Amino acid sequence: MALLFYLGGGMPEAQAQGERFGIRFENRGNTSLVFPDPFIPGPVQVNNWNLALNGSFRKKIDKQKLGLTTLTLGAEYRFTRLNYAGFEVAPGQALVQNLHAARLQIDWVRVLNPKKPKWILALLFRPGIFSDLEAFDWHHFRLEGAALLSYRANQKAIYGFGVGRSAGFGRTLILPLLQYTYRSPKFVADILLPSRADVGWIKKKWYWGLNASIVGNQFQLGNLQNGFPGSDRAGVSDLTLGPVLRYKLSENNYFLLEGGVTALRRWEFRDDRRDGDQRFIQELDPEPTWFLRTGFQIRY
């Protein structure tokens, strides 16, 4: 069985547990940021590109080797490059340009009753480093993860609920999870609220669909000059909407192409050494823009 789970950590890489290897490149168009005086006078144009890699292997660990219990181990890395134009900063100040997210994937999935394999428990752990990799210390480490209990209603539909810890909304939050998965030879729906939703149609080697995903992360800033004065963390979050195209190159190998627009965008700088609302140094509202994402995946 293929349990869907995506923590919303920057780009929909390894969205399903069925992905053995993936590489994706994403480019986003220019958008305007309006910074408050006196930090940066006037609007700033910014665009970014992202590169993501992930790989994993899966092993049956139940005694009978029937797949009643599986363990998946893997790793994911994502690099983000921010490019700015049209600004001058005060001496000694800068804007963060390079952001890194590297995390391990540890997934334990168990069919609870082998005689009636209706209920499935999944425990997922994502320890990782989320950082500009400057003046590195333990604050750059974070543990994300989830527990998900799913019910197989029939051969096509799975319902589930659970709880997860994720920074997909630009802040590290504990979130309730609702899952719905439907798979038939011609139609697929993969939904995990509040993180993402996919619907698509299959025809021979082609998959055509629509995707909505919350894409975000929170990064520790080792170089305090990379953000607003006094901030030590940067949080970003976008809602991406658009069509998805997947082509089957050969057995288990796929070419991916996605595009569309970003909406409900938020960038914020904060200082978690403070208390209450004093933690939030500055919140920005980037304008919507386009994105284009392409990649390659090998599935189990």
What is the domain range of residue 249?
A: 19-299
Determine the pLDDT at residue 104.
97
Determine the pLDDT at residue 15.
45
Structural domain contains residue 1: no
Q: What is the pLDDT of residues 189-242, one digit of tens each?
A: 999 999 999 999 999 999 999 999 999 999 998 866 555 556 788 898 999 999
Determine the pLDDT at residue 185.
94
In sequence order, what E strands does 96-205 have?
A: 98-111, 119-131, 141-152, 157-166, 173-183, 187-193, 196-203
Structural domain contains residue 10: no
Structural domain contains residue 255: yes
List the structure tokens of 267: 């960038």
Structural domain contains residue 190: yes
For tokens 């190159």, name the residue. 249
CATH number for the domain including 284? Answer: 2.40.160.40
Structural domain contains residue 5: no
Cβ 184 vs Cβ 202: under 8 Å: no
Determine the pLDDT at residue 173.
95
pTM of the model: 0.86
Sequence-distant (6+) residues with CB within 8 A of 91 are: none
Number of domains in the chain: 1
Q: Give the chain's residues under pLDDT 70.
A: 1-17, 34-43, 86-94, 223-230, 273, 275-281
Determine the pLDDT at residue 152.
95
Please give the full DSSP string across 63-91, using - where no structure is assigned. TT-SSSEEEEEEEEEEEEEEEEES----T
Determine the pLDDT at residue 10.
44
Structural domain contains residue 80: yes
Q: Which amino acid is at 224?
A: L
